[in-house]
Chain A
Amino acid sequence: MLIECKNASFGYENQIYVSHVNFTMNEGDYICVLGENGSGKSTLMKGLLGLIRPYEGTVAYGPSVTGQTIGYLPQKTVAQKDFPATVREVVLSGCLSRRGFLPFWSREDKMRADKQMERLKVKNLEKECFRDLSGGQQQRVLLARALCATEHLLLLDEPTTGLDPSVTRELYDLLRELNRDDHTAILMVSHDIENALCDASQVLHMEKEMLFFGTTEEYRESAVGKEFFRKSGAGRREMTWN
């Protein structure tokens, strides 16, 4: 078991945005969190990361999720648009969780960062400035950073926002490889239902509260799933017409 939510509710400033979340995430799972905008996906993500506490219920972590070491791929922040930092500096900052009070990086940290950069094919960009990279390259760098934090569990918050379709496909392939070959458990918030469902083993559908949790096959057959397919399909067609 990696994460277990029991009847958990999350929110800000005494207002609950997400309630009755019940699910268990195990090693090697690939869970896709679906839901429309404002359905509380990002709030749930913050709750799972421990950035906000549950108002009710509990969130428990398995023994391999020591402390708060979760690999996290957040949505882009405004600051990052003109932030002067090399790829190497960004990736290394992922090692922060595994170190104590020492002010400098150890050899082990550096080797770890090298390994992740090679694996995500950004080693050649090592000395480049993060802000000058393309959207897809930036996501790969941030993924390398997340993997420096841990290889057990990755949480991704809409990782494909703003990427063009081919780069999006590449990112999904990469995630599938990580999940299949390295047994990295993945929990991804997404609104890109078709792509996400190709790879995910389980689906968690949010609509202020948890409407569905089960395998992808079950989801395709469920009323919630069918409804969401219909809506997102219709939505997409309208978008292309415009």
Chain B
Amino acid sequence: MELIVRMFQYPFIQRAAIVGVLVSLCAALLGVCLVLKRYSMIGDGLSHVSFGALSIAMALGIAPLYLSIPIVIIAAFFLLRIQENGTMKSDSAIAVVSSSSLAIGITVTALTSGINTDVSSYMFGSILVMTDEDVVLSVLLSVIVLILYVVCYQKIFAVTFDENFARASGVRTRLYNLLISILTAVTIVLGMRMMGAMLISSLIIFPALISMRLQKSFRGVVICSAIVSVVTFLVGLTASFLFSTPTGASVVIVNLIVLLLVSLIQHLRQNA
């Protein structure tokens, strides 16, 4: 307990906790839709695009968030279009986009500053890189994501459960798909600094997978994901402070442990 109090006296931990909780919340809520719509890989693809955008922003000396948010939103829009049109197999399209942006990012960095600790912190996350300005922007955007999600909840449910039915009853499904992917793009960019490009998609997928095993209703799954994501984030943050491990990796490991435990319990219960 004393330790936790001491931990939260560090301003960088405070910043990480605020941003982390909000981003985990957004990621968990959106994650439920993405996992159910079989769009989980979009999250992964977008995080790589985000890495490429960050590297370019660094090379140009622009504040990273201002450049990467629009780029990632555009990428989200195109990935979604590919998925809808079925012109190219969407999983291979995402793989193409991911590896290309990773390659562009690394090349740009190598040509300008060389591969250094900054790049490594973008790949695997760091809680030290966050400035106060980042925190304000993150809080603002996360709150917008949360409000939009709550306001559009019923439509998001309909679009996720049965897109054709929703369209037949006059819901503008394209618009809501676009909304979901824009919100995901924003969430990924915000969370990437802390979690790292390689690990951010876990924030989207794990809580949804865990809650789907525990809950029967959509609302239950959404609420449970929100709780799971915040709790696992805080436990992960504490663990990373205690054992001086990278924050992103610690959060993912906590999530993995919870998922394994839940799966084990579910398995035992089914066999009993």
Look across to chain B and name the residue whose beta carbon is closest to the beta carbon of A90. Answer: B161
- A93-B37 in contact (CB<8A): no
> What chain B residues lie within 8 Å of A128 (beta carbons)?
216
Does A74 interact with chain B (Cβ within 8 Å)? yes
Q: Is chain B's interface secondary structure helix, strand, loop, or mixed overall?
A: helix
Q: How far is the CB of A43 from chain B (nearest CB, A)?
A: 13
- B217-A86 in contact (CB<8A): yes
> What chain A residues lie within 8 Å of B162 (beta carbons)?
74, 77, 79-80, 93
Give the complex CA separation of A145 and B162 in angstroms.
11
Q: How far is the CB of B264 from chain A (nearest CB, A)?
A: 19
> What chain B residues lie within 8 Å of A79 (beta carbons)?
36-38, 160-162
Count chain A CB atoms within 10 A of each CB in B163, B171, B218 and give the residue with the most.
Answer: B218
Q: How far is the CB of B266 from chain A (nearest CB, A)?
A: 13
What are 28 of the A-B contact pairs (CB < 8 Å)?
A46-B164, A51-B168, A68-B168, A68-B170, A70-B169, A72-B168, A79-B36, A79-B160, A79-B162, A84-B215, A84-B217, A84-B221, A85-B157, A89-B219, A90-B161, A93-B161, A93-B165, A96-B158, A96-B166, A96-B169, A96-B171, A97-B169, A103-B151, A105-B154, A127-B216, A127-B217, A129-B217, A149-B168
> What chain A residues lie within 8 Å of B169 (beta carbons)?
68-70, 72, 94, 96-97, 149
Query: A84-B218, A89-B218 are contacts. A103–B164 as well, Cβ < 8 Å?
Result: no
Does A49 interact with chain B (Cβ within 8 Å)? yes
- A69-B165 in contact (CB<8A): no
Does A83 interact with chain B (Cβ within 8 Å)? yes
Q: How far is the CB of B153 from chain A (nearest CB, A)?
A: 6
> What chain A residues lie within 8 Å of B217 (beta carbons)?
84-86, 89, 127, 129
Query: A68-B169, A83-B36, A83-B161 are contacts. A96–B216 as well, Cβ < 8 Å?
Result: no
Interchain Cβ contacts within 8 Å, total number: 99
Report the interface size class on chain A: 35 or more
> What chain A residues lie within 8 Å of B219 (beta carbons)?
89
Report the interface size class on chain B: 20 to 34
Q: List CB contacts (< 8 Å) of A73-101 with chain B.
A: 74, 77-80, 82-86, 89-90, 93-94, 96-97
Q: How far is the CB of B141 from chain A (nearest CB, A)?
A: 20
Query: A69-B170, A70-B168, A84-B212 are contacts. A96–B154 as well, Cβ < 8 Å?
Result: yes
Give the complex CA separation of A86 and B222 in angstroms.
13
Count chain A CB atoms within 10 A of each CB in B161, B165, B221 and give the residue with the most.
Answer: B165
> What chain B residues lie within 8 Å of A80 (beta carbons)?
161-162
The residue that A93 contacts in the complex, of B157, B164, B170, B220, with Cβ under 8 A, is: B157
Give the complex CA separation of A80 and B150 in angstroms.
23
Q: How far is the CB of A114 from chain B (nearest CB, A)?
A: 17
> What chain B residues lie within 8 Å of A62 (beta carbons)?
none
Does B15 interact with chain A (Cβ within 8 Å)? no
> What chain B residues lie within 8 Å of A82 (beta carbons)?
212
> What chain B residues lie within 8 Å of A129 (beta carbons)?
216-217
Does B62 interact with chain A (Cβ within 8 Å)? no
Give the complex CA separation of A105 and B219 in angstroms.
13
